[in-house]
Amino acid sequence: MYQNLIVTGGCGFIGTNFIRYVLEETDFSGRIINVDILTYAGNPLSLADIADKYGDRYVFVKADICDYKEMLSVVEQYDVDSICHFAAESHVDRSILHPDDFINTNIIGTYNLLKVAYEKIETIKRFHHVSTDEVFGSLGAEGLFREDTPYAPNSPYSASKASSDHLVRAYCETFGVPVTMSNCSNNYGPYQFPEKLVPLMILNALEGKALPVYGDGQNVRDWLFVKDHCIAIWEIMFSGVVGETYNVGGRNEMKNLDVVKVICNLVDEVAEPLASGESRESLISFVKDRLGHDRRYAIDCNKIDAELGWTPSESFETGIRKTVKWYLSNMDWSESVRTGEYQNWIKENYL
């Protein structure tokens, strides 16, 4: 069992859910050190109750993973024996607008952490790297991404994640750093910053705003409920084989337009009707397509199922119901993370 686990990017969407899951629902008895620089996507308020409840077992360090000396000193100060690496710039649209941050954090930041792990190889028992299915590129109508599918990233975001995956693999092969990796599909659930499709549509539908669907809305993604993802990562950190990579998917392939329609119908069910009396589907607005928009992602997650006994427990129908309910009950949280600058950019570009 790990005693001192660094979680990078713990104030972001998946990191927050992961820290909550590990502290509240597993038999982990050690300490989590959450290392996060708090970009626009990092919100320490998401874990305020955890900080109160777990005392010394939860430590927050505001630091940049690109800073080698600082990362080394955190590892030394807290006797770190394991790292679960989430910190990244994660939004494709932003990577099209400002690729620099993606190169720095996703590539240089990961490289720094790997150097630290190698420097401390006597004590680091596991370095888990969280990556994306987007590294595999875009699929046609048929087929699934497997762990051995060749990499073909198309956006600055996916190219930066692909680079980090290669570095992680290389540090294991060359220097023996005990890594595992996971490549997962699109996550959704509580605490997701409302720039991504699901929370943006939920909040806009609640507020009666336009629902911007890129292109023809026929792009396909696989949807993974965030808690299922956290369970998979924890399983890999303990039972995954060093040097191996695992695909994690929700077995929920859907077209974007269908995702938006499901959200509209759910919001119609739980919220006040629109003043017009129409369904929220009337808010759907087709806008210009994303540059280089990948057509279809779909993931074969049979390896983690067969080898580690993990399978997703939520269908999109059950997971999205929980998610809509969460956003409805946590409007304050959404308000606190929405900033003017990015909303203006969305308006200028897409609405």
| Interacting residue ranges for ligand TYD, rule: CB under 6 A | 92, 186, 196-197, 200, 212-214, 219, 221, 256, 290
- Rounded CA-CA distance 187/170 in Å is 27
Nearer to ligand NAD, 36 or 305 (CB): 36
The encoded tokens of residue 332 equal 């304050």
- 83 and 8 Cβ atoms separated by less than 8 Å: yes
3 state DSSP class of 59: strand
Alpha-carbon span 236 to 339, nearest angstrom: 35
Contacts of 297 (CB under 8 A, 6+ apart): 133, 134, 136, 138, 139, 145, 185, 186, 220, 221, 222
CB of 8 to ligand NAD, least distance (A): 6
CA distances in angstroms from 15 to 32, 101, 119, listed in the order given: 11, 19, 25
42 vs 190, beta carbon nearer ligand NAD: 42
Q: Which is nearer to ligand TYD, 213 or 267 (CB)?
A: 213
**Binding partner of residue 184 among ligand TYD, ligand NAD, none, CB under 5 to 8 Å per kind?**
ligand NAD
Residue 92 contact, options ligand TYD, ligand NAD, none, Cβ 5-8 Å cut-off depending on partner type? ligand TYD
The residues annotated with a catalytic role in the active site are 133-134, 157
Question: Strands (DSSP E) along the chain, which ranges?
Answer: 4-8, 31-36, 58-62, 82-85, 126-132, 179-184, 186-188, 211-214, 220-225, 245-248, 253-255, 284-287
Q: Give how far the C-alpha of residue 82 lies from the chain's centroid of Cα atoms, to the nearest Å.
A: 20
Q: Measured from the CB of residue 272, what is the shortest distance to ligand NAD in angstroms?
A: 29
CB-based contact 319:189 (threshold 8 Å): yes
Q: List residues binding ligand NAD (CB under 6 A).
A: 8-9, 11-15, 36-39, 41-42, 64-66, 86-90, 105, 109, 130, 132, 161, 184, 186-187, 193
In this complex, which beta carbon is closest to ligand NAD, that of residue 16 or of residue 204? Answer: 16
212 binds, among ligand TYD, ligand NAD, none (CB under 5 to 8 A by kind): ligand TYD
| Nearer to ligand NAD (CB atom), residue 41 or residue 263 | 41
- Which of ligand NAD, ligand TYD, none binds 107 (CB below 5-8 Å, type-dependent)? none
Q: How far is the CB of 139 from ligand TYD (least distance, A)?
A: 13
From 218, 228, 317, 208, select the one nearest 271 (Cα to Cα): 208
Partner from ligand NAD, ligand TYD, none contacting 187, C-beta within 5 to 8 A by type: ligand NAD
